[in-house]
């Protein structure tokens, strides 16, 4: 792909339907559970992207056989029954937060020495909460540089059941990682099963519910408190199965937002109120802003209407913060996004990056420790820096549907989760 891409404004309100590629979050969770399962699992609709590529490659390095069919995005996973074949390995995980966190817990079930490393940005992303919990379970797990970030060194000798505490305010992926490995924790003199207590606020709760749903689909069991502050995972062995992966709801947010910005209608197929992914709730934000939202068995459609600014806590759907920020530029009145301090630790500091790039486009932006306030202004063309962050590129491109001269720098960064995003976005206008 070219080093920059200029977005072509639409000539009329959109009227289109689309089915985004499979969910990254579900693909990587299903891969972990299938890898640990007994027998061969078949995953349908899996996402093909950098984040899933590094997960598949790393599992292969660990001795898990995965056969791929690109035509229908089918993955055949030969599970290991909880007995990791590799007795030591070096795993490259690029800048995939799900991969490094999920595999840090997974290799703790093995016996041997493991090193997980990635890009320079990955080596700035926190993982100490997970490492501390693993240490409490008898795992020699540490940050190689002593920064609380990758590279991660694991001297693995299995997990031992106990009751541990884990902070929840930085990333829910730490909890998800430990939960998926937990059924294989060996009973100890301290406990018969692994129990986890969450201290402080747990961010991105829908992603934890997604993890539990995938675990249960493969035969695991999780008991949890209503407030998601306490979890119990009895010993079990995941069982192989055929698993269908939903379209990615975070990716779908861009197309729902395109309808809002263009004043048109876009139907996203395969996602509705019954979906496992919490990011479908992004449509509730658009409804608050004035859009019409319709849920059906086929999918969810958004019809754009005159937009108004809102004040919203997006802690539970923080991967869609940048998408809503793009929509806010076209609203009447300010929009305040709160409760998302943890997105400063993503692929980039997303709050600071958003503030910088939205100002280039003509908005006034007040940055807060846990979010930002966006006051629309006279919009203008700009070259948008993407900070090697796929969501910066995909969300900023939406502005170009209405504003001429919006140029996205380094558009190839979308390969992390959605390699054909710009083609699909441009294709919306051809489906009218």
| Residues forming the active site | 319
Eight-class DSSP state of 124: G
Instruction: Compute the chain's Rg from CA coordinates.
Output: 21
CA distance 318 to 207: 11
CA distance 394 to 195: 39
Handedness of CA 392, 167, 95, 239 (dihedral sign): negative
CA distance 338 to 328: 14
Give which of 76, 82, 99 is closest to 25, Cα–Cα.
99
CA distance 378 to 356: 16
Give which of 327, 317, 313 is closest to 281, Cα–Cα.
317
Pairing of strands 40-44, 242-244: parallel
Exposure b/e, 393-408, CB count within 10 A at least 16 = b = bbbbbbbbbbbeebbb
Is 373:341 a contact under the CB 8 Å cutoff? no
CA distance 43 to 52: 13
Give which of 119, 111, 126, 147 is closest to 51, Cα–Cα.
119
Task: For the beta carbon of residue 71, count every other beta carbon within 10 angstroms.
Answer: 6
Residue located via tokens 């500091």: 349
Is 286:316 a contact under the CB 8 Å cutoff? no
Is 266:256 a contact under the CB 8 Å cutoff? yes
Give which of 150, 133, 60 is closest to 97, Cα–Cα.
150
For residue 52, give the H/E element and its range.
Answer: helix 50-61
Exposure b/e, 76-101, CB count within 10 A at least 16 = b = ebbbbebebebeebebbbbbbbbbbb
Give which of 313, 309, 330 is closest to 321, Cα–Cα.
313
């Amino acid at each position: 792909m070219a080093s920059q891409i200029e977005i072509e404004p639409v000539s009329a309100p959109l009227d289109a339907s689309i089915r985004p590629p499979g969910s990254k979050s579900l693909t990587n969770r299903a891969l972990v559970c299938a890898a640990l399962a007994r027998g061969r699992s078949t995953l349908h609709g899996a996402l093909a992207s950098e984040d899933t590529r590094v997960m598949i490659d790393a599992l292969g390095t660990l001795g898990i056989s995965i056969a791929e069919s690109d035509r229908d995005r089918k993955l055949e996973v030969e599970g290991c029954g909880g007995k990791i074949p590799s007795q030591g390995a070096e795993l490259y995980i690029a800048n995939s937060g799900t991969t490094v966190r999920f595999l840090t817990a997974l290799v703790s079930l093995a016996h041997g020495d493991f090193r997980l490393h990635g890009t320079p940005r990955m080596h700035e992303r926190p993982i100490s909460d997970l490492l501390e919990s693993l240490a409490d379970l008898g795992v020699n797990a540490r940050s190689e540089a002593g920064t609380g970030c990758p590279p991660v060194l694991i001297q693995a000798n299995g997990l031992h059941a106990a009751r541990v505490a884990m902070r929840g305010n930085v990333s829910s992926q730490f909890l998800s990682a430990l939960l998926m490995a937990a059924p294989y924790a060996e009973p100890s003199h301290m406990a018969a099963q692994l129990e986890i207590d969450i201290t402080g606020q747990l961010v991105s709760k829908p992603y934890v519910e997604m993890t539990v749903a995938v675990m249960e689909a493969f035969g695991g069991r999780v008991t949890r408190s209503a407030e998601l502050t306490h979890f119990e995972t009895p010993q079990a062995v995941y069982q192989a199965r055929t698993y269908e992966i939903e379209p990615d709801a975070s990716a779908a947010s861009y197309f729902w937002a395109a309808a809002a910005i263009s004043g048109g209608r876009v139907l996203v197929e395969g996602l509705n109120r019954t979906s496992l992914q919490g990011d479908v709730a992004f449509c509730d934000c658009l409804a608050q802003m004035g859009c019409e939202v319709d849920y059906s068995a086929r999918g969810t459609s958004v019809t754009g209407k005159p937009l108004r600014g809102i004040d919203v806590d997006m802690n539970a759907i923080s991967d869609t913060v940048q998408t809503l920020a793009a929509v806010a530029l076209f609203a009447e009145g300010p929009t305040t996004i709160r409760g998302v301090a943890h997105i400063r630790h993503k692929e980039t500091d997303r709050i600071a990056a958003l503030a910088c790039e939205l100002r280039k486009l003509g908005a006034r932006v007040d940055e807060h420790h846990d979010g930002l306030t966006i006051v629309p202004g006279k919009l203008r063309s700009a070259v948008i820096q993407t900070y090697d962050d796929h969501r910066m590129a995909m969300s900023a491109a939406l502005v170009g549907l209405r504003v001429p001269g919006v140029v996205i720098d380094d558009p190839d960064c979308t390969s992390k989760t959605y390699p054909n995003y710009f083609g699909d976005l441009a294709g919306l206008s051809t489906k009218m």
